[in-house]
Amino acid sequence: MVSTVCTRCRRREAFYLRESSGEALCKQCFMKSIEEKFIRNIREYDMIKYGDSIGVAVSGGKDSLVLLRLLIKNLKKPPLTYVERILVFTVDEELEYSKHKLERVTYIRQLCEKYGIEYRIYTISSIIGVSVQEVYDKLREKGKNINMCTICGVFRRRVMNEIARREGLTKIMTAHNLDDDAQTVLLNVFSNDLKRFKWFGPITGEDVENFVPRIKPLRNIREEEIAIYAYLTGTPMLERECPYVRNNPRYLLKFLLADLERKNPNIKYMIVSFGDSLSNLLKEVKYFERKIKTGKCSICGMPTTGDICRTCELIRDAGLLDKYLLAKRD
Residue 315 belongs to a domain = yes
- Is 2 a residue whose pLDDT tops 70? no
Q: Lowest mean pLDDT of 22-31, 107-116, 294-303, 312-321, name the range.
A: 294-303
Confidence of residue 330 (pLDDT cuts 50, 70, 90): low
Query: Is residue 108 in a domain?
Result: yes
Pairwise CA distance, residues 179 & 157, whole Å: 19
Within a domain: 21: no
15 falls within a domain: no
Q: Which of 93, 81, 95, 66 is nearest to 228 (CA)?
A: 66
Model pLDDT for residues 175-227, shown as the tens digit of each residue: 999 999 999 999 999 999 898 998 899 999 888 888 999 999 999 999 999 99
pLDDT tops 90 at residue 67: yes
Residue 184 belongs to some domain of the structure: yes
- Of the listed ranges 65-69, 198-202, 264-268, the least confidently predicted one is 198-202
Number of structural domains the chain divides into: 1
Is residue 7, in this structure, part of any structural domain at all? Answer: no
Its domain, for residue 186, covers 30-329
What's the pLDDT at 121?
95
CA distance 49 to 42: 10
What is the CA angle 299-301-303, rounded to 5? 115
CATH for 53:
3.40.50.620
For the entire predicted model, the pTM comes to: 0.94
N-terminal to C-terminal alpha carbon distance within the chain? 68
Residue 18 lies in a domain: no
**Under 8 Å between Cβ of 15 and 26:** yes
Q: Is the pLDDT of residue 1 over 50?
A: no
Average pLDDT, the chain: 93
For the residues 141-170, what does the mean pLDDT come to? Answer: 94
273 is a domain residue: yes
The percent of residues in the chain predicted with pLDDT above 70, rounded, is 98
Angle between the N-to-C axes of helices 148-167 and 310-317, in degrees from 0 to 180, rounded to the nearest 10: 130
The answer on pLDDT for 261 being more than 70 is yes
